[in-house]
Amino acid sequence: MKRMLLVTLDFPPLRGGVARYYAGLLGAFPPESVAVLAEPAPEDEKFDVVAPYRVIRKRILGRLWPRWKWVWLRIMRVRRRTPFEVLLVGQVLPLGYAALTLRLLFRISYVVFVHGLDLLSARRSPWKRFWAERILRGASLVVANSGWTKARALEFGARDGRIEIIHPCPRARPLDRGSVERIISRWNLAGKRVILSVGRLVSRKGHDMMIEALPDIIRSHPSVIWIVVGDGPEGERLRHAVSKRALANHVVFTNVLNDEDLAAAYAAADVFVLPTREEEYDAEGFGLVFLEAGAAGVSVVAGRGGGVDEAVVDGVTGLLIDPRDPIAIARAVNRILSDKELARRMGDSGRSRVENHFQWLQQSSKLESSIKQTVS
């Protein structure tokens, strides 16, 4: 197996799907075959000391523009002490600039990961699009998190024979019944029908449309409580919208939860809802939270668009709806809340699908095979 170095700006203990993606994927490789170069983060020692692979914490980006200018030199310094044969690039921009430089100067092969939003963001600037296209064309392999993201990468000039889909996989979270009881007590959920949403409070996640749908849901299920887990720039606006519509007795906003409490929140939920939508420069590249709900045996209502239809099988593990139609959202949620057998069947199917198709060992084997075939 070729020795690999991942250089990334997004890695635990930072939160978010991309950081978890890299940690989970690398954790499935033999520890001696991988190392990580990541920027320092608060309390990173706690993560690094238990990581099975070596994590090197160095300031990657410079302080002066262009901040990526000397990244290639930092990578070469790391290579002297931690030799590698393949460079894994966590962000097409700005780290791809350094990868392309290393290939041109030292013939170092690189594999670049794309997640969807990164490519949509590059569309904003002709300069960024120009360089993203060249970085993708210069890669020995492009790794996309979904078929939808793969299609976006092909639009940027990635070579069809040198692109592989490596799906995100949910992390196993141990469930403690005491934690479930504490969650139920904390949010007064006893005897209530519980809707759960987990995700950043940003426009594309569709929380605003769920607020529009909630009155119709309450009319059918007066005891419903909507738990909103996450933080972000839309938080204040969403809280105001809930208050304006006199829905505060049916909504609980809570910041990001630790693993134990998040597992308990999934266990307490009757349905998971996140009506994500595509916007001009933003979309859901895959939707790991839908698999996390499935792993917990919870049925899902999700917005159709982006890579979500690869995370949710419509009519099997959940229901896909028009994310801009509050009536459709309410109808789907009410359908699941009113049909316990349907909810159970979808939850069971979601759990089975995760167990059979979304495990990191499967994905790492797939990536290893692709690297062997494409990286000389």
pLDDT at 175: 82
Q: Which residue has the tokens 């208050």?
A: 243
Taking residues 172-197, what's their average pLDDT?
92
Q: State the Cα–Cα distance between residues 61 and 106, nearest whole angstrom.
A: 21
Q: What is the pLDDT of residues 318-342, one digit of tens each?
A: 999 999 999 999 999 999 999 999 9
For 1-23, what is the mean pLDDT?
A: 95
For the cut 80, the answer to whether the pLDDT of residue 174 exceeds it is no
The DSSP secondary structure of 287-331, one letter per residue, reads -HHHHHHHHTT--EEEESSTTHHHHS-BTTTEEEE-TT-HHHHHH
Count CB-CB contacts under 10 A for residue 161. 8
Q: How far apart are CA 39 and CA 29, in angstroms?
A: 22
3-state secondary structure of 247: coil
CA-closest candidate to residue 135, choices 167, 160, 110, 118? 110
Architecture per CATH, 175-355: 3-Layer(aba) Sandwich (3.40)
**Identity of the residue numbered 144:** A
Q: What is the spatial distance between Cα 335 and Cα 346, in angstroms, rounded to a whole number?
A: 12
Work out the number of other CB atoms within 10 angstroms of the CB of residue 271.
Answer: 26
Does the structure show a pLDDT above 80 at 375?
Answer: yes
CB of 231 closer than 8 Å to CB of 201 = yes
SS3 198: strand
Closest CA to 318 of 338, 336, 296, 340: 336
Averaged pLDDT score across all residues of the chain: 96
Q: What is the pLDDT of residue 33?
A: 97
Collapsed DSSP state (helix, strand, coil) of residue 285: coil
Backbone angles phi, psi at 140, to 5 degrees: -65, -30
Looking at residue 376, its pLDDT comes to 78
User: Residue 245 corresponds to which amino acid?
Assistant: R
Q: Residue 239: is its pLDDT beyond 90?
A: yes
- Phi and psi (nearest 5°) for 375? -105, 120
Torsion of CA 123, 129, 133, 138, to 10 degrees: -130
Q: pLDDT value at position 273?
A: 99
- Sequence ranges of the domains in the chain: 2-168+358-372, 175-355
Q: Give the chain's end-to-end CA distance (angstroms, integer).
A: 12
- Tokens representing 326 are 């509050």
Neighbours of 12 (CB within 10 A): 21
Q: How far apart are CA 59 and CA 247, in angstroms?
A: 45
pLDDT in tens, 53-82: 999 999 999 887 888 888 999 999 999 999
Residue 13: asked if its preceding bond is cis (omega within 30°), the reply is yes
- pLDDT tens per residue, range 227-236: 999 999 999 9
List, for residues 86-134, the tens digit of each pLDDT value. Answer: 999 999 999 999 999 999 999 999 999 999 999 999 999 999 999 999 9
Q: Higher confidence at residue 73 or residue 213?
A: 213
* One fold for 2-168+358-372 and 175-355: yes
290's tokens: 């839908």
**Backbone torsion region of residue 306, taken as left when φ is above 0, otherwise alpha when ψ lies between -120 and 50, otherwise beta:** left
The third-level CATH classification (topology) of the domain covering 2-168+358-372 is Rossmann fold (3.40.50)
Amino acid (one-letter) located at 4? M
